[in-house]
Structure 1
């Protein structure tokens, strides 16, 4: 049993490493081969796509996992309904993006956005669909397939990047086409694995259930992404392309520091969801505490290494011209150590069927973030933006811990620590006994 859990964890972590490594290669290619203005436009475009796709994921992902666990016999209808929402959302949002492409380019003073946004349908179909595919693999406990899919995505993308470099054809459009095309090709390869999922025509009942559950998660995702990107949007508005490019580099370093949060969270969520349905408070409290401890322990080494070698890392992923991003990275990484508590709290609220509370918490954090950014950017520029973001992260986590008992059957911190310590001690004692017996 434990060996199986370790394999699942390794598959989840390893797969996310390969997926983010692929994204990092795209980032490095853009940072090293495009002008600061083009690179800033690329980053802003990716941010807008991530925001839109975060809403789409919210409508589908957590509800899909939850309903598949609750009613596996309805898998075909659930899957068909999720696929219908996925494609319907893209069909509805693309015309809006086309209409807004010109105004957005004018608002951020980045004309290149009007050229990139017409290609957004490819990004949503490619990157959006592959994210749903990965989520489904987690829901079905197919971490090995997830690992293989991310390796395939890395290999296909790396071969395409090598071709672009050799042929001297690195551009915004070629990078976008390669990124979307690689994702679609991996999806096609995934369909060769037959029999692991059933898809039937959508049913109105499941469509309504998924949308009712997903609307709060979608809102939470949107607010979470706005919270993460509010500083980028405000930097783009108040400052300029060079400052946006610097902040993109700092944000990319932070993304890899926070790899454990993004890699392990999809694996943790089904376990918390199962614990929430067990009606065993001790089981839930242990799972809650283990999840926080696991995320923090995995986050700590990368965070400390990054803080020690920030300048070297920045030069490696971009160039020496972005060395001014060093203090930005240090502030953001220090604040990220509070995120395991916030991440597990949010997942637990969704698992208990309370996504509306999660939505309210993110709305509060977004308001705090915007107010702090609007106050500090005019005074301290980029440094003010990251101080605002780091402060809002810590404040939101603190408020969440104060409201914990109101929404979840979770005991106090000291009691949870005792439960976790006793559990670890008992396991170590059991292992020691087994070794002595042998």
Structure 2
């Protein structure tokens, strides 16, 4: 049963991450050719901002719902889901108000007036995606991923197909049209998500204050962690847009998009590890330590060859993917690739520390890293321009890595070298378990 879970969920999550990146990357490939540099920079800033709003809402309730619902007794499931919906709805209203208040300010700060109506219209997508997030979390808590995969696929595919048609027909895309298509996509995905989650969905009219309190107090730290984490990953682009121009933000985004290709294993394994880590935490810390070292090692085995390849052929890859007008992204890519090596350690650090109930610790580390990243970006962008943003993120990522490993050693006796050992062992293990038997059959 355990092997079946890992194989099936692993396949679905890797496939989901792969399709996400391919659709996102394919859309990016066409957008950089359809839009001028200023439009693409504006779209980058819009997507960055709306992603932060999604994390603000989902960060508080996502992991908390999965953690409590996956180990709940049958009579506890209805109160947990009801409490989760209550918190999610409240946060959605709060984030919509934030959007309405700051939309004009952001459009002025980034010298892009067309962003303001786009932010207003996006509120429709935001409210529907909150409902979809509940459906997906409920399904994930029951160790099922089919609906999560299909709904994510639909949201990506609809937008991708629209961009593809515009690219083929050479239609000049008004940025507002992209926002309208997002609404269509999330409506379809939400209906499909409900069909998968409805057998597990039970609600009542009580507030269930006890569960609201439990979910909130667990989620408040993962919420802070999620917000701080996405700020660390996006603040450089937002500050470039404000301190330099949307064009600078777009150039940096080109480098980030390429490095996203090698984050497929990290995102996929993180989704699988959290429910398993939460269960292993009840069995003892040795199992959690092994899970961390093994999962990071597996990710490293997959991403290190990709990092080396992209670094060696960065000039060619940028020109093929983004065209000749983004040559200024080449030196940025070489730096962003370097801090990709620290991403698996940091992502799995948050997963395992949260799973053993020390969400406050994760929160403190990520907030510190985010603040450090913001401060370094401010000073280095001021003195070095676009390159300063990449260098600031590299240095703050390394410092965050050191802090995380010290904490993991103290809490779980994690050895920083063991993931590299597992990474080295991955190749012969993969060959003997998967390749060799198929060669014999062939």
Is TM-score (shorter-chain normalized) higher than 0.5? Answer: yes
Query: Residues of 2 paired with 1:303 and 1:132: CA distance?
Result: 35
Contact 2:365 2:404 survives alignment (8 Å): yes
Mapping of residues 190-209 of structure 1, within 5 Å = 190-193=193-196, 196-201=199-204, 202-209=207-214
Quote how far apart the aligned CAs of 1:95 are: 2.4
Q: Deviations over 1:10-52 (max 9, x none)?
A: 1110012112323333333432222222221111111111112
Query: Residues of 2 paired with 1:21 and 1:422: CA distance?
Result: 29
Name stretches of at least 5 consecutive residues in structure 1 with no aligned partner.
Answer: none
Distance of aligned partners of 1:298 and 1:130 in 2 relative to their CA distance in 1, 3 Å threshold? farther
Partner residue in 2 for 1:272: 277
Name stretches of at least 5 consecutive residues in structure 2 with no aligned partner.
Answer: 438-442
Partner residue in 1 for 2:71: 70
Contact 2:100 2:120 survives alignment (8 Å): yes
Contact 1:108 1:236 survives alignment (8 Å): yes
Q: Deviations over 1:101-147 (max 9, x none)?
A: 11222222222222221122123135555455444433322233433
Is 1:303 equivalent to 2:296 in the alignment?
no
Distance of aligned partners of 1:194 and 1:210 in 2 relative to their CA distance in 1, 3 Å threshold? closer
Paired residue secondary structure (1:192):
helix
Among 225, 229, 235, which residue is 2:230 paired with?
225
Partner residue in 2 for 1:391: 395
Paired residue secondary structure (1:200):
coil
Contact 2:155 2:182 survives alignment (8 Å): no
Partner residue in 2 for 1:32: 33
Partner residue in 1 for 2:325: 321
**Higher mean Cα deviation, 28-37 or 236-245?**
28-37
Partner residue in 2 for 1:249: 254
Query: Residues of 2 paired with 1:419 and 1:20: CA distance?
Result: 26
Query: Residues of 2 paired with 1:131 and 1:31: CA distance?
Result: 30
Partner residue in 1 for 2:139: 137
Query: Residues of 2 paired with 1:208 and 1:270: CA distance?
Result: 21
Distance of aligned partners of 1:103 and 1:271 in 2 relative to their CA distance in 1, 3 Å threshold? same
Mapping of residues 132-211 of structure 1, within 5 Å = 132-165=134-167, 166=169, 168=171, 170-193=173-196, 196-201=199-204, 202-211=207-216
Partner residue in 2 for 1:61: 62
Query: Residues of 2 paired with 1:316 and 1:127: CA distance?
Result: 34
Partner residue in 2 for 1:368: 372
Distance of aligned partners of 1:324 and 1:416 in 2 relative to their CA distance in 1, 3 Å threshold? closer
RMSD (CA atoms): 3.0
Contact 1:257 1:306 survives alignment (8 Å): no
Quote how far apart the aligned CAs of 1:4 are: 4.3
Partner residue in 1 for 2:85: 83
Contact 2:129 2:190 survives alignment (8 Å): no
Normalised by the length of structure 2, the TM-score is: 0.88
Quote how far apart the aligned CAs of 1:322 are: 0.9
Contact 2:31 2:163 survives alignment (8 Å): no
Query: Residues of 1 paired with 2:279 and 2:388: CA distance?
Result: 42
Is 1:95 equivalent to 2:97 in the alignment?
yes
Query: Residues of 2 paired with 1:196 and 1:326: CA distance?
Result: 50
Contact 1:126 1:184 survives alignment (8 Å): yes
Query: Residues of 2 paired with 1:340 and 1:160: CA distance?
Result: 33
Q: Deviations over 1:301-355 (max 9, x none)?
A: 3323322332343344432201210111111111111221121111111111111
Contact 2:297 2:422 survives alignment (8 Å): no
Contact 1:94 1:120 survives alignment (8 Å): no
Paired residue secondary structure (1:170):
coil
**Higher mean Cα deviation, 42-51 or 95-104?**
95-104
Paired residue secondary structure (2:196):
coil
Contact 1:59 1:214 survives alignment (8 Å): yes
Query: Residues of 2 paired with 1:156 and 1:428: CA distance?
Result: 37
Paired residue secondary structure (1:110):
coil
Distance of aligned partners of 1:310 and 1:418 in 2 relative to their CA distance in 1, 3 Å threshold? closer
**Higher mean Cα deviation, 341-350 or 390-399?**
341-350
Distance of aligned partners of 1:309 and 1:211 in 2 relative to their CA distance in 1, 3 Å threshold? same
Distance of aligned partners of 1:119 and 1:301 in 2 relative to their CA distance in 1, 3 Å threshold? farther
Query: Residues of 1 paired with 2:174 and 2:73: CA distance?
Result: 45
Distance of aligned partners of 1:7 and 1:217 in 2 relative to their CA distance in 1, 3 Å threshold? same
Query: Residues of 1 paired with 2:18 and 2:213: CA distance?
Result: 35
Partner residue in 1 for 2:413: 410
Normalised by the length of structure 1, the TM-score is: 0.88
Query: Residues of 2 paired with 1:167 and 1:80: CA distance?
Result: 48
Paired residues in the alignment total 430
Quote how far apart the aligned CAs of 1:429 are: 11
